[in-house]
Amino acid sequence: MPLLGLLPRRAWAALLSQLLRPPCASCTGAVRCQSQVAEAVLTSQLKAHQEKPNFIIKIPKGTRDLSPQHMVVREKILDLVISCFKRHGAKGMDTPAFELKETLTEKYGEDSGLMYDLKDQGGELLSLRYDLTVPFARYLAMNKVKKMKRYHVGKVWRRESPSIVQGRYREFCQCDFDIAGQFDPMIPDAECLKIICEILSGLQLGDFLIKVNDRRIVDGMFAACGVPESKFRAICSSIDKLDKMAWKDVRHEMVAKKGLAPEVADRIGDYVQCHGGVSLVEQMFQDPRLSQNKQALEGLEDLKLLFEYLTLFGIAEKISFDLSLARGLDYYTGVIYEAVLLQTPTQAGEEPLNVGSVAAGGRYDGLVGMFDPKGHKVPCVGLSIGVERIFYIVEQRMKTKGEKVRTTETQVFVATPQKNFLQERLKLITELWDAGIKAEMLYKNNPKLLTQLHYCESTGIPLVVIIGEQELKEGIIKIRSVASREEVAIKRENLVAEIQKRLSES
């Protein structure tokens, strides 16, 4: 067995003890089943690893733990995003965290090398999902779904160099909205851009701009400039880096690394520096090169129609036709877009935030057909919200302003000033829980009243109900406002109604 040769000498004892265990129920005689041997080998390797000196407890590179404070902010962001998706009629769905490797292969162009592959498990080669779009397309094809409006919130994994300071991770959450089905041109596309505007405006992240282009215009531009068709996707991937690299560096990559002729690169440079509104679309109709390309003209026609709908939605001023936008993923076929936050002057003590795009998407009409045995296509358009980057921005701003985050939603604390009142507190808190009121108490038989009140102040609990000997005799309960420290006595049977009234008024 080749695995045995990999074990360090000190792990042999652990391995032998594993192998000397009685055979499992499915084994016969002295023959050991493969699963038991494999388990023994892996256990021994793990023990050897754990015996290494100077072991440091850490999380994997490019990942993060989310504290309760982080989760409060994150959930507020996700609630706003999901409520917007639902407002536009989307249904929720989910897919496995990993897919068959062949499902994901050749869908992402040059980025395919960033997928996390899993070792052979039960005879299947698997990879962690790279995005939520390809699994959605697989779902549509597998279930023969021709029309669907869905949203999906879930984690994805990319094996790239992380940049924690810019909200870039190897494991991160995506929030996707997609419209699948055959519809009249540009109506679903315009709605996707409207959704991005609604979400970014609702999050109050500052001014933003959504860059728009069309992959047919990009390909038409390449053809008009003299790029060989075999290099379209490679050059597209280079152009997609213009938001992170200067033009001279992108030009160098195209010429020196991808073999593009310098004069062809210079022609591309003339186009990718153009950006504007619908007037630029009209201008490109007159361009001597693009106007001769059928693909480019189709893309320009759709963009002209798109701007008409965006004007009706009242968001045309937030949209910029940008010829530098390429979206390097192979599956895009039509309109593409990317939302960026506009840099604003930083306040005193605030560092400039440069996080790149915070939302992106586009049309991918051919992706579902790649999974269908007969190649039947289902046109699709969608968007993805960059939650991690948005979370990073919100987190930094809260730090600058010194804002505190309350990590629980507890509304009422059950307290007592006396000993031996645990049973009464348990009865009282049960009554509150059963009425749907969020309540807490200290897990002590005889806590001090001052300790209980300090806990409420430190955690932001607004109300305290107090029960003691006197209250029990008189059939009353005291309600204390933590902020004002005012107390009132009410009848025990009116407790739930009084608390609900106070909470509704707050």
Domain CATH for 478: 3.40.50.800
> Measured between alpha carbons, how far is 253 from 146 in angstroms, rounded to an integer?
41
Task: Kindly state whether residues 321 and 274 are assigned to the same domain.
Answer: yes
Task: Kindly state whether residues 386 and 426 are assigned to the same domain.
Answer: no
Task: Kindly state whether residues 422 and 397 are assigned to the same domain.
Answer: no
Mean pLDDT confidence for 427-446: 97
Average pLDDT score, the chain: 88
Indicate whether 394 belongs to any domain: yes
Rg (CA), the chain: 30
pLDDT at 123: 83
pLDDT at 403: 84
Task: Kindly state whether residues 418 and 358 are assigned to the same domain.
Answer: no
Indicate whether 41 belongs to any domain: no
More confident residue, 244 or 408: 408
Map residue 20 onto helix, strand or coil: coil
Indicate whether 487 belongs to any domain: yes
- Binding-site residues from annotation for L-histidine: 131-133, 158, 174, 178, 327, 331-332
> Measured between alpha carbons, how far is 211 from 208 in angstroms, rounded to an integer?
10
Given a cut of 50, is residue 417 above it in pLDDT?
yes
Q: Which domain holds residue 249?
A: 68-343+354-401
> Measured between alpha carbons, how far is 125 from 313 in angstroms, rounded to an integer?
46
Mean pLDDT confidence for 406-417: 96
More confident residue, 37 or 130: 130
pLDDT tier at 178, thresholds 50, 70, 90:
very high
Task: Kindly state whether residues 394 and 475 are assigned to the same domain.
Answer: no
Global pTM reads 0.83
User: Exposed (0-12), middle (13-18) or buried (19+): which is 380, by Cβ within 10 Å?
Assistant: buried
Task: Kindly state whether residues 236 and 277 are assigned to the same domain.
Answer: yes
H-type alpha helices, 92-166: 101-104, 133-142
Given a cut of 70, is residue 346 above it in pLDDT?
no
Burial call 192-204: b when 16+ CB within 10 Å, e when fewer: bbbbbbbbbeebe
Task: Kindly state whether residues 426 and 497 are assigned to the same domain.
Answer: yes
Task: Kindly state whether residues 321 and 300 are assigned to the same domain.
Answer: yes
Task: Kindly state whether residues 423 and 393 are assigned to the same domain.
Answer: no
pLDDT at 234: 87
CB 406, CB 438: distance < 8 Å: no
Given a cut of 50, is residue 378 above it in pLDDT?
yes
- Among 40-44, 99-103, 112-116, which is the least confidently predicted range? 40-44
Q: How many domains does the chain have?
A: 2
Indicate whether 49 belongs to any domain: no
Indicate whether 9 belongs to any domain: no
Indicate whether 21 belongs to any domain: no
Task: Kindly state whether residues 199 and 303 are assigned to the same domain.
Answer: yes
Given a cut of 80, is residue 25 above it in pLDDT?
no
Return the CATH number at 104. Answer: 3.30.930.10
Indicate whether 119 belongs to any domain: yes
- Binding-site residues from annotation: 131-133, 158, 174, 178, 327, 331-332
Map residue 149 onto helix, strand or coil: strand
Sole residue written with tokens 């790029």? 227
User: Exposed (0-12), middle (13-18) or buried (19+): which is 346, by Cβ within 10 Å?
Assistant: exposed
pLDDT tier at 40, thresholds 50, 70, 90:
low
- Among 45-49, 191-195, 341-345, 355-359, which is the least confidently predicted range? 45-49
Indicate whether 62 belongs to any domain: no
Does an H or E element contain 92, and which? strand 91-92
Task: Kindly state whether residues 167 and 295 are assigned to the same domain.
Answer: yes
Task: Kindly state whether residues 238 and 319 are assigned to the same domain.
Answer: yes
